[in-house]
Structure formats: structure tokens, C-alpha cells
Structure 1
Amino acid sequence: MSFYISLSGLKAAQTDLGVIANNVANVSSVAFKKSSAQFGDIFAATGGPAGGNGVRLVGVQQQFTQGTLETTDKTLDLAVTGEGFFTVKGAGNGPVSYTRAGAFGVDKNRNVIDSTGAHLQVLPTDATGLPTGTAASDLTDLVIPTDNGATPPVQLSAISISETGLVAATYADGSVKNLGVVAMASFPAQDELRQQGDAHWIASGESGAAVYGGGNSGMFGAVRSGTLERSNVDITEELVALISAQRNYQANAKAIETATTMTQTITNMRT
């Protein structure tokens, strides 16, 4: 029995090492959120001296704590301070996903896209900059114009994004036009979001449906233009956890070796 108990501990330590290694590997990934392995004991229903049958993996829990902010001075580099996610959508009829990796750029069609090519979504706005719709059907792609569309056209001069996520275009004649409010998303249980890679998540049955709105209000954090959120991995903390997991692995391996030696000794005595 001790052999199988130690074997479960060996597998648990191996899983822990894998989770920690993934955290360390992504220490430089924009807006990466670290994870931690959660374990529970296996109770022996039939009793027994040890009172248990080893350890099992309960799950790998994501930790959506705030990462440090890095100033870039690029208008379309966005970060969120507080709760909430940017809403992006795959090109065409691609799926909607959510991210805090705000390294956005502009493609050849003037769509604002992230590092995966997904389009940043905005909500319609009134003249005062407040969203006029917060339903999923109100989401539209953010497109940066080159001019104001008038005759003759007036060229675009600058783009600005406020803490509420209001995107405003300023033209050469000084006129300003609101292009929309960056669609922020929040969830009843964000820890249950399903990871998709590249710091993107999608909603699941356990996370609940997305609630949309503008930044810097209610459950939505402020939008910071010219800033990127870094990974929330603390490398010192991860290295300490790595040493602990390695020692757990070694201890369980030693316990298996001891159990094997004892079994061989008993077998030799019988023969």
C-alpha cells in the first residue's frame, strides 16, 4: 500500500513541477496569469493505519491578480487596472474571446487587432462618450479612419483613448469624433474561464456569461492607454515553490525505493 501512496505523491509532485515550470516560462508573456496546482487527500474508505490512500489533483487554479504595468507611450497599447477583460473577435465570423494582453495594432484594413489577429470590439457611444448599448449584439470592430469622410476629406491627426475606454479621433481641422467605447467584459466567476492560449480566455458554463460595459465604472477597471500589463508571475516565489516541489518529488521517490527494498527483503526471506 505504501508503494501506491508514494506513487500518487510522485505524480502530484510531477504535476506541481509542470505548473510551476509553465509559470516560469511565461514570466515575460504580456498579461499572462499564473496558475497553481491544488491537491486533496484520498481517504481510505476501509480505514487502515495511515487513514488515507495518497493524494489527488483537485485542479489547476488560475490567479487573476494584477500584473505590473509598463509604460510604452504607444496609444494602442492598452492595460486594465482592476477587474475586466478586453473583448476581441476572430476575423470574419470568428469566436469572441477575452484578454488582458493589450498590445494592439492596426492591420491593412485599419482594423485594430491584437497579437493573434483578433479584432478589438467596441460599444456604440453617444456624444458625451457614454455607451448606448451593452449587449453582445452591440459589439462592433474598432476601425481607425484615415480621414473624416467629408468632401474634401480632412486627414486624421491623432487617436486618443480615455480611462473609460472612449476612443476619439481628432482630425487636422481640430474636429473630434467618437469611434466607440472599448468593450470591457466581466464574469460572475472569472476563475472558471477556459484558457485558449496567448493570454486569451473564453466563457464557460461555470464562468457565466459576459457582462459588457465601459471602463472605470462599476465592476470594470480603468483603461490605461500607452501601457501594457506584464505577467503576474513572481519569479522568486516560483523558484522557492520549484525547490519545494523538487524535494517532494525526491522524498516520494525515496519512499518508493524503500518500499521496493522492503518487499524484496520479505520475498527473499520467504524463499
Structure 2
Amino acid sequence: MSFYTSLSGLKGAQTDMSVISNNIANASSTGFKRSRAQFGDLFASSPTQSTRMVAGQGQRLNGIIQQFTQGTLEASEKTLDLAIAGEGMFVVKGEPPREQVSYTRNGSFTPTADGHIVDTTGQKLQLLPVDANGEVTDRTLGGMTDMILPTGAPSDPTASLVNISIGLDGLVTATFANGEDQMLGKVAMATFPSMEGLRPIGDAHYQSTGESGQPTIDAATNGPMGTIRSGALERSNVDITEELVLLIAAQRNFQANAKAIEGASTLTQTLINMRS
């Protein structure tokens, strides 16, 4: 039995080291959120047994949990580099026909040849519609639209676009050569009842699940959404020093369980030799 108990410890330590290694590998990935492995003990006994006479049977992995703490904001020179100071996430949509919706903290957006604003995976940034006063008129997934840079002013198509500004509340305003301004909408953001329940799909993107609950869609500065900082990016929340300490602890745990297996093997070999 001690072999299997120590084996469960070995597997747990190996998983812990894999999680920590992934955190360290993504220390420079924009919008990355570190993970933490959670373990629980294994214990079993029959109703007629005294629990004081039964040893534990090892450990098991309860889950690998994402840590959605705030990362450091790093200034950049691009207006379309966006960072969130708060709990919200950007809403992006994939290409037709699926148009899969996902959520991300990676705010590195760039324009395409046709004017769409896309992230590093090519998914399109979503906007919420606004009225003449800049107030959001539809807070649903179905009401969102792709952010597209206009080619000309509403009153004069020959007046070219000269500037795009994004406020703390996510309001996107286009300024044209004739001095005219046009509000394109507000950057769509989402929060979830349980952020840890989101399913990671890579590139700092996540999908909603039954565990995360349905998203609450709104603009920045509302509730826990936080504010949007144009001209900045959120670095990963990985602390290299902390991860290295955890890695050393996981290595020591692995070595200790290996020693326990070695001890059980020696004991078994001694018993076999005594019988022979």
C-alpha cells in the first residue's frame, strides 16, 4: 500500500511542477493568468473500522485553478493597446460561420486591411451600441457589433479619419479631417459569477462554462468591470521569485516521495530475503 501512497505523491508533485513550469514559461505573455494546483487527501475505511487505526491513502488532484489577480500595466505607444484595471474581460468574436465568442485580458489589438480591429488570434473586438449621449442601449451578446474603423466622416465621406480615442469608460470616438467626431460605441466587457470556472483555450482566451456561469455584459466603469486604459497592456500576474520558490518546494516533495518508495522497496526486499 505504501508504494501506491507514495506514487500518488509523486504524481501530485509532478503535476505541481508542470503547473509552475507553465507559469514561468508565460511570465512575459500579455494578459496571462497564473495557475495553481489544488490537492486533497485520500482516506477510506469501512463503517466497522476505527478511523484512528487507518492511515491515509495518499493524495489526489482536486483541480488546476486560474488566479485572476491584477497584472502590472505597461505603457505602450499604440491607442489600440488596451489594458483593464478591474475584473472585466474583453469580448471578442471569431470568424463566420461559427463566430465563436471568447473572453480575454490580452488587449493587444490591431486594425486589418478592411478596418476590423482584431486581437493576436485574429478575433474581432466587440462594441456595445450607444445613443447620442454615449449611453449604452443594448447590453446583450446579440446586441454587440464588430469594431470597424470608418473610412470617412458621416456628413462628408471624403474627410478621412485622423484619430481614434478610447476613454476610461471604453467609449470609442473617431475624429475626421473636417473636425467632425463620431461615437462608434463602447468596448464590450464581461464578468462572470465564478471567474475560476472559465475554460482556458490558449493565447490568454477563455470560454464560459456551466461552472463560470453566464456572462454579465456591460461597458467599463460599471460595477466590477473596471476601467480601460488606452495605450497600455497588462503583463502576466506571474511573480518569478514566488514561482521559483514553489518549484523548489515541489522538487523536494517529489524527492521525498521517491525516498519513501525506495524505503518501501528496501523493506520488501528484506522480507523476501528473510523468507528465502
- TM-score interval (norm. to shorter): over 0.9
Please name the residue that 1:84 is paired with: 88
Matched letter for residue 202 of structure 1: Q
Please name the residue that 2:206 is paired with: 201
Runs of 4+ residues deviating >2 angstroms: 46-51, 149-152
1:9-158 maps to which residues of 2 (within 5 A)?
Answer: 9-46=9-46, 47=51, 49=53, 51-93=55-97, 94-151=99-156, 153-158=158-163
Matched letter for residue 267 of structure 2: M
Deviates further, 48-57 or 228-237:
48-57
Deviates further, 150-159 or 130-139:
150-159
Q: For each residue in 1:215-252, what CA deviation from the matched residue of structure 2 results, as whole angstroms up to 9, or x when unmatched?
A: 01212110110000000000000000000000000000
Matched letter for residue 30 of structure 1: T
Secondary structure of 1:10's counterpart equals helix
Find 1:253's aligned residue among 243, 258, 268. Answer: 258
Q: CA deviation at 1:25?
A: 0.3
Find 2:170's aligned residue among 159, 165, 187. Answer: 165
1:223-234 maps to which residues of 2 (within 5 A)?
Answer: 223-234=228-239
Matched letter for residue 73 of structure 2: L
Gaps of 5+ in 2: none
State, as a whole percentage, how many aligned pairs show the same letter: 56
Mapped to 2, the partners of 1:96 and 1:259 lie a distance apart of 52
Secondary structure of 2:223's counterpart equals coil
Please name the residue that 1:216 is paired with: 221
Secondary structure of 2:87's counterpart equals coil
Q: For each residue in 1:183-242, what CA deviation from the matched residue of structure 2 results, as whole angstroms up to 9, or x when unmatched?
A: 011111111011110000011011111111110121211011000000000000000000
Matched letter for residue 2 of structure 1: S
Mapped to 1, the partners of 2:214 and 2:8 lie a distance apart of 37
Q: CA deviation at 1:50?
A: 5.3
Mapped to 2, the partners of 1:120 and 1:216 lie a distance apart of 18
Secondary structure of 2:57's counterpart equals strand
Deviates further, 214-223 or 111-120:
214-223
Mapped to 1, the partners of 2:184 and 2:96 lie a distance apart of 20
Mapped to 2, the partners of 1:104 and 1:92 lie a distance apart of 19
Does the Cα contact within 8 Å between 2:45 and 2:54 map onto a contact in 1? no
- Matched residue count: 271
Gaps of 5+ in 1: none
Matched letter for residue 154 of structure 1: A
Q: CA deviation at 1:150?
A: 4.0
Mapped to 2, the partners of 1:152 and 1:100 lie a distance apart of 35
Mapped to 2, the partners of 1:234 and 1:52 lie a distance apart of 34
Matched letter for residue 122 of structure 1: L
